[in-house]
Structure 1
Amino acid sequence: MGDRLTLPSWTTLAKLDDEALPLLSTALLIARDEYPGLDVDLYDTLVQSHVEHLRTEVDAIALWPLKMAAVNRHLFDELGYAGNHDEYYDPRNSYLNEVFERRLGNPISLAMVQMEVARRLGIPLDGVSFPGHFLVRLPVDDGLLVMDPFNGGRPLGVDELRERARPHLGGELPDDRALLQILDPAPHRAILVRMLRNLHGVYADDEQWDRAARSADRILRLMPDQPEALRDRGLAYLHLEHRHGARQDLSRYLQLHPQARDAASIREQLVELSPDRSRMH
């Protein structure tokens, strides 16, 4: 038996260097907010069972792309992990315990499963914060193998990657240098923040302001003073009538980001929230 997986503490995450920030256990920490009884060891053991099933086969293969093909075949074809195309915005797609249980996820949660299994097998798989859908990348002799975890780990060619990036670049096709920049490995912190942003967006759209506030708060535990998260938590607090917290967060947002596109509307909110204003009513 290996060491038991322990969850980090929200109070220490901001101090950790990116390399020291554990991806799987922090993702399970995010899930524990919604599922307080979550059994961490159960999911760690499940990942390890995927790894042990693959180890002999993968160790016997010499080339990285073929090792990765074996991992993808097991995860997506045999075990049935899949992108939830029908209910893309279901919050369960972002909670790893649910992804493990239902074998359904969104691009970033499926990438986390893929990365965790691959890395335990010694395969240097990284995430890519690609615009639109999150992807994964593997270094190969002549460049990079880029794959789409939301669609069974399918490899993506250069032309398709350019086309996928185009709508997010004002309609321009990225040249080789721009595309390589987009395909840089995503730091662990950025991956976890993107997962929490997805959750915030789902909950805000559904007007579940307590969960929206919590998701933004968790981003701030990873990245204190992240401007958009301060704004998002402040606006959620406003809906929850936590006026003091809203005033603090929105003021700090404007202090950090005075030229923000929504600065004028945030200032209007702050006028409404001013103590003098509340006494006038």
Structure 2
Amino acid sequence: MRERFPLPEWNSLAGLDDDTMPLLSTALLIARDEYPSLDADLYDTLLQEHAEALRGEIDAIDAWPLKMAAINRHLFDELGYSGDSDEYYDPRNSYLNQVFERRRGNPISLALVQIEVARRLGVPLDGVSFPGHFLVRLPVDDGLLVMDPFNRGRPLGVDELRERAKPHLGGELPDDGALLHILNPASHRAILVRVLRNLHSVYAESDDWERAARSADRILKLSPDQPEALRDRGLAYLRLGHTGGARHDLARYLQRHADASDAAAMRERLVELSAGSARMH
């Protein structure tokens, strides 16, 4: 029987533009790698139930910030979604099915839940690839309402946003123009790539190189021109003993990113791989 909420095929995603790449179904496709029996219909229905429980209340509210406050109250106070401060780097916090089941997540997975519920209620919520923690934003009459999904959707003022960005900008506070640029909406592709980068980082840190390679490979399915993902997959292949794949990926990385700060180290790895291959022959 055909799924009511079918997931896309990995090989179809690179050809989609950023506006048409499906957010929820691709996030669940990422999760299906780790949870093959995942029922996508179940989670689509659950999200719809979250939204329908709010529809009457949201329709009766005129102001966008008040609509968003009602959504946040329902998700974080009534349904119990929260940031997983105790096990922040638990990979389950990046797999959306587990976020639904456990009501725990990291900033970007909780943002995905917020975005999906809000948009089903007609509230134009977007993600923000803010340095450090992922945020969400909502256009309002006098500018932007920026919120932190990891902290129950708490609104963030301009001064706090500047301070949060400062460590990632060489210790400099961003001016108005730089801050607005940082707060640009993230495309669906950018959001999904960031989910996979988080997973790659978690798995590489724990020496789970098979899953690290898979995460980098999935980034390349979404965005084939990501040189860092080529490097990361190549290094993971190297750890797994797949020397042919490692040599191929690292060579392509250097072709595309010859001036990278780690280019010399990658060339050294490539020379070692070629020498090892020659000795074997």
| TM score, norm. by length of structure 1 | 0.98
Gaps of 5+ in 2: none
CA deviations on 1:163-210 (whole Å, 9 max, x unpaired) are: 100111111111111110000000110000000000000000000000
Aligned to 2:119: 119
Per the alignment, residue 277 of structure 1 pairs with 276
Q: Secondary structure at the match of 2:88?
A: coil
Residue 265 of structure 1, CA deviation: 1.0
3-state secondary structure, aligned to 1:14? coil
CA distance in 2, matches of 1:125, 1:162: 21
Q: What does 1:1-281 align with in structure 2 at a 5 Å threshold?
A: 4-274=4-274, 276-280=275-279
Q: Which amino acid aligns with 1:267?
A: R
Alpha-carbon shift at residue 261 of structure 1 (Å): 0.8
Three-state SS of the structure 1 residue aligned to 2:127 is: strand
After superposition, the C-alpha distances for 1:194-248 in whole angstroms (9 at most, x for unaligned) are 0000000000000000000000000000010310000000000001111110000
Q: CA separation in 1, counterparts of 2:125 and 2:198?
A: 22
| One-letter amino acid of the counterpart of residue 259, structure 1 | D
SS at match of 1:20: coil
Counterpart Cα distance in 2 of 1:107 and 1:80: 15
Shift of 1:61: 0.3
Separation of aligned partners in 2, 1:234 and 1:219: 13
User: Structure 1, unaligned stretches of length 5 or more?
Assistant: none
Alignment RMSD (CA, Å): 0.9
Quote the Cα distance in structure 2 between the aligned partners of 1:82 and 1:103: 6
Q: Distance in 1 between matches of 2:279 and 2:172?
A: 52
Whole-angstrom CA distance in 2 between matches of 1:177 and 1:279:
54
Letter in 2 for 1:70: A
Q: Which amino acid aligns with 1:49?
A: E
**Which amino acid is the alignment partner of residue 277 of structure 2?**
S
Secondary structure at the counterpart of residue 147 of structure 2: strand
Structure 1 distance, partners of 2:129, 2:190, is: 8
Percent of aligned pairs sharing the same letter: 78
Question: In structure 2, what residue type is equivalent to 1:107?
Answer: P
2:178 and 2:278 map into 1 onto residues whose CA distance is: 54
Length, aligned pairs only? 278
DSSP 3-state at the match of 2:174: coil
Q: Secondary structure at the match of 2:224?
A: coil
2:155 counterpart SS class: strand
User: Quick one: which amino acid aligns to residue 278 of structure 1?
Assistant: S
- Separation in structure 2 between the aligned mates of residue 116 and residue 124 of structure 1, nearest angstrom: 10
1:6 deviates by: 1.2
Distance, in Å, in 2 between the alignment partners of 1:113 and 1:94 is: 12
Q: Secondary structure at the match of 2:194?
A: helix
- The whole-number CA distance in structure 2 between the counterparts of 1:278 and 1:36 is 36
Report the 3-state secondary structure (helix = DSSP H, G, I; strand = E; otherwise coil) of the residue aligned with 2:10: coil
